[in-house]
Amino acid sequence: MKYVSRNTTIGAGIHRAITSSLGVVALMAVLPAATAAEDEHPHRGHRWVRSHPFTIAGLVRNVPEPFDLEQYLAAGFNSVLAWETSQYDRMLPQVSAAGASYMLNLQKWGDEAANKEGSNMDTMAEGLRELDREGALRKIADWVANPGCIGLTANDEASKPSYLRYTRRLLKRLRQEFPDALAFCNAHPAGHEAQDGGYISLHHYFDEFAAMVDPDIFMTDVYPLGVPGKKGYQGSNGISGNYFELLEAVRKTALEHGMPYWMFIQSFETHGSWERRLPSESDLRVQMFAPLTYGYTGILYFTYDMAYERGLIERTGEPNRLYHAAARANPEVTNLGAAMRFLTSTDVRYVPGTHHHEGAEVANELPGDTKKWEPGAGDDARIRSVQVSGSGKGKDGLLGFFRDEEGNEYFMVTNLWHNAEASAEDRTLTITMRFDRKVSRLYRLSRTTGNSETLKLRDGNLEITLPGGTGDLFKYGKQPFPGT
C-alpha cells in the first residue's frame, strides 16, 4: 500500500491504491431516541448529528499493529474511523467488545466503472449491478455484525462528474437498505481543478458535489500547516493562504443545501515534495476551534496512526506530543460540540489585531474570503466593540454568530494566534468585548465541564483570555445550552 503525495496548496486527502473490490457496507447503527424537535428536522444528516454525540474520530489504519484501543480512547476520541479493510476482521471485534462506536471506509467503490476515462452511463449501471451480485454483502455484513457501527464513508475525494453521479446512486441505495445509517463522501479541497471536471471555481465544484452526491454531511480535508516562510504559507505561523477560504466555502455550500458539515484536519507530518509539519498544540487547537466558530459539527483527524512520518503516535506505537495535545483539546471540543449540533451559523467575522510597521501601529491583514467584524455584524447590535490585546502579526480573533431553532442567539470567540512548536499557553490572548449597557450578564458553556456559567458584566465590558487556537461559546438568555 502506497500513499501518493501531491504538491497542492491545501490538502492531499487520503490517497490509496485499491487492489480489491468490495461489496456495499451494511450499517446496523443503533441510534439513541431522538427528541420531537430532532424528528422534525427536514435533513437526515442533521437528525443523525443531533441524535449522536459530537463526532471526534481519528482515521485508523492499524499501523503499527496491534491497535491499542485503550490508548486511542484515552485521547478523547468517541468513535473510530476504520480505514483499511484488510484490518477489519481483527480490529472491529476489539472495538465492539470495548463498547466503542466505529465508522467504516468503503474505499473507492465503483472506481473502475465510473471514475476512469471512458466512463459513461452504461459502465455506471454495470458497476451498480455489482451491488446485487451473489455474496457482495456477506463479508461486509459480517463486519458490521460487530455492534457499534454508526456510519460509512465511500469514494473519498470524488471529483469526476460521472463519479459524483455514481456515488450519489451508491449512497441512495445504502439509505434504502439501511435507513438509519450515516452515509457520506469526502469532497476534494481542490476538486475544481479535476481534469475533465468542467468546474469553473471551488464554489462551483462544491455546489455540484453537494447536489450530485447528496451526502448526509458535507465535508472536505484541509491540511494547511506547512513550513513557515515557504511560498503559499502566511507569516511566521506557516498557515496556507486559502485556509479560511476553504472553511467558508464548505460552510456556505452546506448551509445552501441544508446539510451539516464536518472537517478532516491535519494531524500528521510529511516531508518531500508535499511537506506538512506535525502540528503544535496551538496549531491543533486552531484547526478544531476555528471550524467550530464556522459551525462545523464533526472533526476527523487525518490520521491517528501512520500515513506518513507520524500521526498522533510514532512508528513504535508510542504517543507523541501531538497525542497529548489532542488528549487535552478533544474533551473541550466535545463539550462545546454538544451544543453546536443544534445551532445554525449565521455569520463569521475576523477580528484583526495590530502590529508595528515603520513606526506606526497598523491592522493585521485579513485572510482571503474573510470579513472584518464591525458593529451590527451577525445582526447582533448588542456588541459595540471587539479588541485584541497586545501587538503582533497573527494576534487575531474570530467571531462566529449562531441561532437555534427557537431563535435564541449565540456567539463564539476564538483566539487564532498559533505557531509551529508553540503551546496553547504560549499563545494566550485576551480579547475585550464591549456590549450595550442593557446587557448585564452573559452565559458561557464551559469547555472543561460542559456546564453553563453565568458571567456578570461590569459597565458592559467582558474580557476573555483564551489559550492559543482556543474558543469559547456564549449566549444571551439563561435557558440551557441545547444538547447539554
Mind giving me the DSSP string for 82-110? E--GGGHHHHHHHHHHTT-EEEEE--STT
Question: pLDDT tens, 255-283?
Answer: 999 999 999 999 999 998 889 999 999 99
* Burial (CB count <10 Å: 0-12, 13-18, 19+), residue 267: buried
Question: pLDDT tens, 307-359?
Answer: 999 999 999 999 999 999 999 999 999 999 999 999 999 999 999 999 998 88
Q: Is the pLDDT of residue 135 over 80?
A: no
The whole-angstrom separation of Cα 345 and Cα 378 is 9
Cβ 30 vs Cβ 146: under 8 Å? no
Please report, for residues 5, 335, 399, the alpha-carbon distance to residue 194 in angstroms, rounded to integers and kept in the order given. Answer: 16, 38, 33
If we measure between CA atoms, which residue out of 250, 252, 249 comes closest to residue 298?
250
Q: Mean pLDDT throughout 187-210? A: 93
Residue 198 CB neighbour total at 10 angstroms: 12
Q: Is the pLDDT of residue 25 over 70?
A: no
Task: Determine the pLDDT at residue 9.
Answer: 37
Task: Determine the pLDDT at residue 20.
Answer: 31
Question: pLDDT tens, 65-123?
Answer: 999 999 999 999 999 999 999 999 999 999 999 999 999 998 888 888 888 888 888 88
Q: Is the pLDDT of residue 413 over 70?
A: yes
Q: Round the average pLDDT of the chain to a whole number and report it.
A: 88
| Contact residues for 260 (Cβ-Cβ < 8 A; gap 6+) | 43, 45, 46, 49, 216, 217, 218, 254, 297, 298, 341
The pTM (predicted TM-score) of the whole model is 0.91
Task: Determine the pLDDT at residue 7.
Answer: 33
Q: Which residue has the higher pLDDT, 152 or 156?
A: 156
Question: pLDDT tens, 414-447?
Answer: 999 999 999 999 999 999 999 999 999 999 999 9
User: CB under 8 Å, gap of 24 or more: what pairs does 311-320 form?
Assistant: 311/58, 311/267, 311/268, 312/58, 312/75, 312/267, 313/71, 315/64, 316/64, 317/64, 317/68, 319/71, 319/75, 320/278
- Give yes or no for a cis peptide into 291 (omega within 30° of 0): no
Percentage, residues of the chain above pLDDT 90: 72
Under the banding of pLDDT at 50, 70 and 90, the label for residue 466 is very high
Q: Which residue has the higher pLDDT, 37 or 468?
A: 468
Question: pLDDT tens, 393-410?
Answer: 999 999 999 999 999 999
Output DSSP code: residue 404. Answer: -
Q: Mean pLDDT throughout 284-291? A: 98
Question: pLDDT tens, 229-250?
Answer: 676 666 667 899 899 999 999 9
Task: Determine the pLDDT at residue 238.
Answer: 82
* HSE-up (13 A, CA, CB side) for residue 92: 24
Q: Is the pLDDT of residue 35 over 50?
A: no
Task: Determine the pLDDT at residue 137.
Answer: 67
Biggest alpha carbon–alpha carbon distance for the chain: 76
The whole-angstrom separation of Cα 97 and Cα 94 is 5
Task: Determine the pLDDT at residue 178.
Answer: 74
Q: Which residue has the higher pLDDT, 48 or 110?
A: 48
* Burial (CB count <10 Å: 0-12, 13-18, 19+), residue 227: middle
First to last CA, the chain: 43
Task: Determine the pLDDT at residue 233.
Answer: 64
CATH superfamily of the domain spanning 36-340: Glycosidases (3.20.20.80)
Under the banding of pLDDT at 50, 70 and 90, the label for residue 15 is very low
Question: pLDDT tens, 371-387?
Answer: 999 999 999 999 999 99
Task: Determine the pLDDT at residue 39.
Answer: 54
What ranges do the domains of the chain cover? 36-340, 344-475
Helix 121-129 vs helix 161-177: crossing angle, to nearest 10: 30
Cβ 232 vs Cβ 267: under 8 Å? no
Enumerate the β-bridge partners of residue 219.
262
Q: Which residue has the higher pLDDT, 449 or 272?
A: 449
Task: Determine the pLDDT at residue 124.
Answer: 81
Task: Determine the pLDDT at residue 209.
Answer: 97
Taking the CA atoms of 343, 339, 102 and 83 in sequence, report the sign of the dihedral they define: positive
Q: Which residue has the cell 445582526?
A: 379
Q: Is the pLDDT of residue 23 over 50?
A: no
Q: Is the pLDDT of residue 26 over 60?
A: no
Percentage, residues of the chain above pLDDT 70: 89
